[in-house]
Structure 1
Amino acid sequence: MLSLLAPLLLAQATPAATAPVPPLDALTGQIEAADGALFWAAFEACDPPAVERLLAEDFRMLHDKGGLVASSRAKFIAQMERECAARAPGGAHAGYANRRLAVPGSRTVRPLGRWGALEEGAHVFFERRADGAWEMVGGARYQNVWRWMPREGRLRLVESLSYDHGAAAAYPPEGAEP
């Protein structure tokens, strides 16, 4: 019996291979992809399971308008599930759709030692009007802390800070020629 268990015990005693934090270019690419997937799933797809896969268990979100929005991944996902249900046919906000776009050129990524990275940038928000067109309704800045998960070989969002929310910028800008 012991001879049958030996390989299993040896496998458990041997540490699993872990991937190091990638170099900055690769790290930035992974963060851009994860950020895009996160906001697509959260805003347009209304897909809580997809968002859950991108968040660390101890995820928390701070927002200048709402304070501590979520103190854990579970609480954030539960809140998102309620919001998605409200958008569904028959829900209190049936048909509501919104979109978030990162402002091109505003994103910076800085490694945080061997355990993660800090992403900073600006984003703008849109809502779909009754005629189907998208209307920019505001903008803000953000800082996201991504934790490197060496056994998974990928990043998970551990903390998000969203601040400086304001009205949409005038468009076209003052003084621009049509």
Structure 2
Amino acid sequence: MAVALAAAASGSAFAQGGPREGPRPTQALFDEVAARDRTVFAAIFDTCDMKVLAGALTDDVEMYHDKGGLTFTTSKQFVEGVTAICKRQETGEDYRSRREIVPGTMKVYPLNNYGAIQVGEHRFYRLTPGKPEQLSEVSLFTHVWKREPSGAWKLARVLSYDHRLTP
């Protein structure tokens, strides 16, 4: 085990002459990730736009959910899962939802030479035609975003946890 840890650390920040501060968050990074987050979740919840969603995911995207465990391990699976939800919503088998990040909870941290970590708390509202929207649950999230060589941001890892139902 120690050999594996030493081998893994040999090319990492741990082998670069002792402790040092990591890259600091910036408003520009926050704004870029927040914009990409809005695009992804609009494609999932508002428009069911699978082309936009697929273009926003890494091929090996993984999603971990406290209710379902390891949920997706590829962009294909992720898009198929969201497509199924959208179809159930169209037929009335499932309800539409709206997601909002709880104001003041989102933070974005840079990952050197990779991308960013986004954390926060979000709320989900049940949307029923002809009725006021109803808060249905609140949860925490952690997303890892990869910045592609082209400059595009893609969602690489999704952790959705601590889901709490609301009365």
SS at match of 2:144: strand
Residue in 1 that maps onto 2:142: 143
Deviation at 1:79, TM superposition (A): 1.4
Which structure has the larger Rg over C-alpha atoms?
1
Residue in 1 that maps onto 2:104: 105
Residue in 1 that maps onto 2:62: 60
Unaligned runs of 5+ in 2: 1-24
Mapped to 1, the partners of 2:69 and 2:135 lie a distance apart of 23
SS at match of 1:117: strand
Structure 2 counterparts to residues 25-174 of structure 1, below 5 A:
25-88=27-90, 91=91, 93=93, 96-150=95-149, 152-168=150-166
The Cα RMSD (Å) is: 1.6
1:46-97 deviation per Cα after TM superposition (whole angstroms, max 9, x unaligned): 2221111111111010000010111110111111112212222xx2527x31
Moved over 2 A (4+): 129-132
Residue in 1 that maps onto 2:18: none
Unaligned runs of 5+ in 1: 1-22, 171-178
* Superposition TM-score, scaled by structure 1 size: 0.75
User: How many residue pairs get matched?
Assistant: 143
SS at match of 1:132: coil
Deviation at 1:40, TM superposition (A): 1.3
SS at match of 1:159: strand
Amino acid paired to 2:162: D
1:23-46 deviation per Cα after TM superposition (whole angstroms, max 9, x unaligned): 832221110001111111101212
SS at match of 2:130: coil
